Structure 1
Amino acid sequence: MATLAQSAGRFALGTLSTPAGDPFPGLVVRDRVLDLSRALAWEPSDVRSVLERWEEVLPVLHTLAGEDALAWQPLDGLRVHAPVEPRQIFQSGANYRQHVIDLEVAHRSPDDPRTVEEARAEIAAVMDRRAAEDLPYVFIGLPSTIAGPYDDIVLPEWAEQPDWELELAAVIGKPAHRLTVEEALEHVAGYTIANDLTDRATVFRRDMKAIGTDWLRSKNAPGFTPLGPWVVPAASIADPGDLRVTLKLNGETMQDESTKDMLFGVARLVSYISRTARLLPGDLVLTGSPAGNGIHWGRLLRDGDVMEGSITGLGVQRTRCVREAS
């Protein structure tokens, strides 16, 4: 069972339940939990309800975290669910320099005349141009992909190349539309961990290559986005652009990279998305995957695999893969 000792700051938010009870929004302090549906005057039903009043409730949470004479429950024995149910998920693609270079090399056509070094140099130049022109690449995911941080992941029988992509996720705390980069972080309530699973075999349409990427098929199977365990307040994370993202597969480290390798940081992504869409409290902004995916290693997910994902200050998630029966 996870504890807050694995995450930064005095407290975090989570969604928990007793074995026989309904999920409730919890204030998590070390190894204990306070049910916010009872501790707060308006009786919020979930973490998203708390985020909808984030500026008002944050000082209250700080006070509650220091009060011992409350109805605290031990964290041990509670089930930990995904910390928040978003209405919208915005996913950043091709946002880590080394990751994109690795993918370009892995997806080269057999008759590609370029050497590995030439392919790496060309995509590096493209990445530099994108950064200079301020053009993040963002697409939309389905909330039905969200799963808990310790839930089993069902690998669909049609998924030929299921892969991992551990990512930093920003959680929106107040509505955001047409923000400047300087305003963007004021609208981020906190951060959590997301594993944005992808079936590499269905990323690109085989019938009509001109259509391009098929994100519905490749990324939106139920449970393909394990989330959490916690939402850690933004003030507890000194610099989201300097965190370590680590994923272990069956105990072996596969991803181990700093968010410093991002082309576009959290503020630029939130600002860019808000130029088109209206972000809402509880929405997720996934910031992209660093290098070290299965397609790079030539080792995709299989039945029985166990992934352990961690990001500095945000805790640890642990998920087991189960292959769907034919």
Structure 2
Amino acid sequence: MTLQSDPDIRSQQAADWFSRLNQRHVSTDDVHAFSAWRRDPANAAAYDRVQSMWDLSKTLGGDPEIEALVAKASGMPPRQRPRRTPSKAIGVVGFAALVLMIGAGLYAYAQWRPTAYEAGIGERRTLTLADGSHVTLDTGSRIEVRLSRETRTIRLLEGQALFDVAPDTERPFQVQAGATRITALGTLFDVRLAGRGARVVLVEGRVAVSEQRSNDRRWTLTPGQQINTAAPTPAVGDVDTAKAMAWTQGRLVFEHTTIRAAVAEANRYNRRPLVLEDLALQNEQISGTFNAGDQDALAAALADLYSLEVSRREDGAILLSRRAQGTGAAT
């Protein structure tokens, strides 16, 4: 025998009252009895929750996902569920049960429905998820989060994110980035979208990386390792995690990086893009550490290294071009 908790009893009573008061004929005795029952604040809150669930089911009635979930919970095809008031065929007791089942369907939908987060250009954002995990979003990054009783799933839709995962052996933590899936338990790792794949850097713990496009392509990373699944032949390699995680401190670290790649990386953090007008320079290299978003510092360094002229367009773009012979730098 299973004993119902007090909240369960209140919810059942609230559903009973809701169904009774939505019948075509309501007696005066029912109204008085309901008023007396509702004087208890806990009862009033339970009734308001039932009313809200019913209103929400009507508001989202056109959503096919809601229709499917509620139909599954209620055991009735969508077109057979009452929209406003219970029919005589269902009756008070049946309608009360239906209200509770629809509530269960909406609860399942709330867990299934993803929550979106993003960081704007030049912004770095740290989130604490409901399970206690922390996510740091890099500039121009976007994720969708689904947390349920069984799983924790995050889709990296744009950019880059650092995941500090709260341990929970009962609920795997998975990140989907393009065609790449990363599975972890208690772990600190970084993921950046790269074409249809992703670059994964493991700082702490252990992760399994797989590709949906090929079931036999799976890798396991240990701390200090990385993999880029977008590479023609992905392979696990060592990485300096401090440098790889420098973006979380607002720094860009370049080591023998081509000017083309350095400019592209810097432009992620600022709406004033650097524009390399002399394409012959794009494969030249630069090394150094710069503050993310400080376009002027990088422009000045490139100008000094390669005798470039720095100028600005009206839209704020910073142009880098060959300095004419016999002229100084312009700003």
User: Whose RCO is larger (CA < 8 A, sep 6+)?
Assistant: 1
Q: Which has the larger radius of gyration?
A: 2
Alignment TM-score > 0.5, same fold: no
- TM-score (norm. length: structure 2): 0.19
More helix per residue:
2
